[in-house]
Amino acid sequence: MITDGGSNTMMFSERAWSTLQVDPNDVGGTDWFWWNADDAFDLTFSALTPPNAIKKYLTQFNDGAWWIPLASASSRHPGGVNVALADGSVRFVKETVSSWALADDGLPVGVPHNDPLYFTGNYGTMKPGVWQALSTRAGGDVGGADTF
3-class SS of residue 11: strand
Give the pLDDT of the chain (148 residues) as one tens digit per residue. Answer: 565 576 778 888 888 766 555 555 555 554 545 455 555 555 678 888 899 998 899 899 888 888 888 788 988 888 999 998 888 889 999 999 999 888 888 888 887 776 656 666 677 788 788 888 888 766 565 555 566 5
- The reply to whether the predicted model has a pTM over 0.85 is no
Question: E strand or H helix at 111, and its extent?
Answer: none
